[in-house]
Amino acid sequence: MAEMLYRAALREALIEEMDRDPKVYVMGEDIGRFGGAYRVTDGLLDKYGEMRVVDTPIAEEVIVGCAIGSAMLGLKPVVEMMTVNFSLVAFDQIVQNAAKIRYMFGGQATVGLVIRMPGGAGHQLSAQHSHSFEALYGMIPGLLVVAPTTPEDAKGLLKSAIRTPNPVMFLESMSLYNMKGEVPGEEYLTPIGKAAIRREGKDLTIVAVSRQAVLAQLAAQKLEEEDVDAEVIDLRSIRPLDWQPIVDSVKKTNRLLVVEEGWPTYGVSAEIAAGVQKRAFDYLDGPVERIGGAEVPMPYNQQLEKTAIPSSDDIIRRALEMVGKKVPA
Amino acid sequence: MSDVNMPKLSDTMEEGTVIEWKKQTGDAVKKGDVLAEVESDKASFELEADADGVLSIVVDAGTPVPVGDLIANIGKEGEAPAQKAAPKAEAKPEPETARPEPAEPESAVEEPEEEPQLPAAQVETPSDGARIKASPIAARLAAEMGVNLAQLKGSGPEGRIVKEDVLAAAKQGSAGRRPSASPRGPARTGPDVEHEELTRIQTIVARRMVESKTTVPHFYLTTKVRMDEAVRVQKQLRESVSGAEKLTISDLVMRACAIALRRHPEVNASWGGDHIELKRRINIGFAVAQPKGLVVPVLKDVDAKDLVQISIESRQLIERARAGKPSPQDLEGGTFSLSNLGMFGVTEFAAVVNVPEAAILAVGVVADEPVVEEGRVVPGKTMKMTLSVDHRVLYGANGAQFLAEVKGLLENPVSLVLPPGE
């Protein structure tokens, strides 16, 4: 075990996989000479050269299109979108090609492509640069969508993503790049499609995705002082969803709160609420509760932005309501 | 004004009768107050007020009334018929008829409230037999535990009956509830009898049990064993021998049976139609309960195994069996069987012979009880065992000798501790 930053864990995954497999290459805006907007690919150009560390023009559709083509011919592209917001420019390539080619070609071509992209709000980047698109990508059949929240998972999931023959939307979080955590010294893979139980509890289940899973753990620690024992499940994988631990947990706690930073309408929390009421209806002691981002374009104003993003206090208050405890003013 | 109607308390109830009004016209009543005792075709129950206000009785006690018909009103003070002295002015504004209060301001991150706005009378009047607001798990537990939701006050949001309420009511138990109350809450739906498909194991067990009970002439021998020494040895081994940390009484009985079977080979046998098959190997099966059914994994060559091996290997077999993953080899080759229900407090029972084996030993709980030793009553540990025997293979005397052997081994357990092959 070594303590490591989230961004360094990602870099380690890239290095290990590029060393392992010469077909793996990285591509994106400012990832080579500049080392990446969030320094994830720092040093890779010197190590692997321009053939495998490709700086591109500012043209996301072209980047992803090239990556898809090279993946169909057997390379393993790991594309960086500077942020998840810019992936909208490449949305057509992602949805129409990356997600469908394997199906439409009857399996004769596969798209083993990873698109890494940080998302999330909280940095006063305003309406166009503060998105959380877990649900947007999570609804597309043919894509795998993951959102690691710890350095260990960042590395383990990225390695798994590079090795799967299917397109993976790898959702990083701007707010987590400087997070420290233990990372195993030996080689390991974190499986795609498995949620992580971050904390066991008996009073309610909090399922959260991406950075909200970190906030949910903070909330659970504080809830302990209020004598509320919350179980926290970090979704990790948005598509496919790992229902078993969620359902098992709800059967134990009888209460479910789902938290996401993105807009909740048609969101991850909506999907989980729908699935749980179907799979554990007879175990629910109250409606499935949801917390999501405010349904507005993200405000630039700091206070307004803060109010628009779910906080651990929001989680605490809702949890207290759900277990019938007094909610502090 | 809130109507009080004759509630429907059972599927078959068509009319009910107020036996006694507990409140009178003009009385101020509060939500939850008992208004009357009402009798249905099956039971009598207390009818509670579902609103605050002043009671006005419409139907006198003793008159049968069809379900759903008006029997009283609860009105506001001003509406009360001026028959009696002015009612106490403690009636609060009632939630049913009060104008809606302005909703509390919600924080920006909260979702819009999506609770459907049902008519108040439907939402909050359980005793009229209409919809009762209970969480799914509360409804399910109430049905399972025989708690009548109509008689519960919900502590959840908006008066919803939640799990805690049902558990509390069940804990109060029959003392708290009227014994005559129908256990069938209105929330229970669906047919009275459910059709449950058999699992493969249930099918097999059913077939084999019928085969055994219809083709094997059973007889039963019961004995009581002093277990003081065996329990002491078990404790000593658990504390001092590596691998024996989880040694069970079943393991000791298993070892005793293996030794006894070696000494009484006629018990380790099967009926062959026109001959008796004596088995050379001593493979003892033991019944392991599964959620649906049971399996009998078989520990092979038990006579060649010491207690530690028996303990470890039988635990592995049990784990595989409980997980529903016994291998085919785990289940074959048995020559004798054991069944222990002692962990459930069963004192003694008779098992069904596991064909084609000749006998099965059923073991009860190790109990502390007074025993007579040299004319004095002293505390002792005892255990009852019942041997079920196929009378075609064995006779009373054979079975009894075998049983006495097992008993003797358990009462003097030093031979159980000796290495196999004594």
User: From residue A271, how far is each of A144, A240, B178 by CA, in Å?
Assistant: 16, 12, 44
B85 and B234, same structural domain?
no
Centroid of chain to Cα A246 = 17
Q: What is the mean pLDDT of chain B?
A: 81
Q: Distance, in angstroms, between B374 CA and closest chain A CA?
A: 55
- pLDDT confidence tier of residue B174, bands split at 50, 70 and 90: very low
The two structure tokens encoding residue B260? 């006894």
| Non-local CB neighbours of A115 within 8 Å, separated by 6+ positions | A64, A67, A79, A80, A81, A87, A90, A94, A98, A167, A168, A169, A170
pLDDT at B12: 63
Residue ranges, comma separated, of all CATH 3.40.50.920 domains in chain A are 196-321
pLDDT at B89 over 50: no
B364 and B240, same structural domain?
yes
pLDDT at B310: 95
Given the structure tokens 């709160």, which residue do they identify? Answer: A257
Of B109, B111, B135, which has the smallest distance from its Cβ to A285's Cβ?
A: B135
Instruction: Read off the pLDDT of residues B96-140 as tens digits, 9 standing for 90 and up.
Output: 444 444 444 444 444 444 444 443 333 334 444 557 888 999 988
- Interchain CB contacts (distance < 8 Å): A and B: 49
B265 and B391, same structural domain?
yes
Last residue of a domain, one of B169, B190, B211: B190
pLDDT at B42: 58
Q: What count of Cα atoms within 13 Å lies in the side-chain half-sphere of residue B157?
A: 15
Q: For domain A2-183, say whether CATH 3.40.50.300 is its number.
A: no
Last residue of a domain, one of B148, B167, B190: B190
The enclosing domain of B180 has a CATH number of 4.10.320.10
- Report the top-level CATH class of A196-321: alpha beta
Q: Is residue B116 part of a domain?
A: no
CB pair distance less than 8 Å for A324 and B156: yes
- Is A6 or B173 the better-scoring residue by pLDDT? A6
pLDDT at B188: 56
pLDDT at A190 over 60: yes
Q: Is residue B288 part of a domain?
A: yes
Which pTM value belongs to this model? 0.53
Residues of chain B in contact with residue A293, where contact means CB-CB under 8 angstroms, are: 109
The enclosing domain of B61 has a CATH number of 2.40.50.100
Provide the number of structural domains found in chain B. 3
Residues of chain A in contact with residue B136, where contact means CB-CB under 8 angstroms, are: 281-285
| Non-local CB neighbours of B213 within 8 Å, separated by 6+ positions | B352
pLDDT at A329: 74
B178 and B87, same structural domain?
no
Domain interval for residue B183? 131-190
B370 and B253, same structural domain?
yes
B257 and B169, same structural domain?
no
pLDDT at B101: 47
Residues of chain A in contact with residue B190, where contact means CB-CB under 8 angstroms, are: none
Instruction: Read off the pLDDT of residues B19-46 as tens digits, 9 standing for 90 and up.
Output: 888 888 888 888 888 888 887 765 667 7
User: Which of the residues B195, B218, B275, B391 is marked catalytic?
Assistant: B391
Range name among A55-59, B59-63, B217-221, B390-394 with the lowest pLDDT average: B59-63
Residue of B258, B254, B263, B264 lying closest to B230 (CA atoms)? B254
The two structure tokens encoding residue B130? 């209409």
Last residue of a domain, one of B156, B190, B224: B190
Centroid of chain to Cα A319 = 23
CB pair distance less than 8 Å for B137 and A264: no
CB pair distance less than 8 Å for A286 and B135: yes
B242 and B291, same structural domain?
yes
The enclosing domain of B329 has a CATH number of 3.30.559.10
- Report angle CA B260, B204, B269 to the nearest 5 degrees: 25
B207 and B172, same structural domain?
no
Of A264, A284, A314, which has the smallest distance from its Cβ to B135's Cβ?
A: A284
- pLDDT confidence tier of residue B189, bands split at 50, 70 and 90: low
B282 and B163, same structural domain?
no
B224 and B164, same structural domain?
no
The two structure tokens encoding residue A161? 């993503």
pLDDT at B115: 43
User: Which of the residues A60, A80, A172, A271 is marked catalytic?
Assistant: A60
B406 and B303, same structural domain?
yes
B159 and B284, same structural domain?
no
CB distance A234 to A149 below 8 Å: yes
Of A264, A283, A308, which has the smallest distance from its Cβ to B108's Cβ?
A: A308
Q: Distance, in angstroms, between B141 CA and closest chain A CA?
A: 9
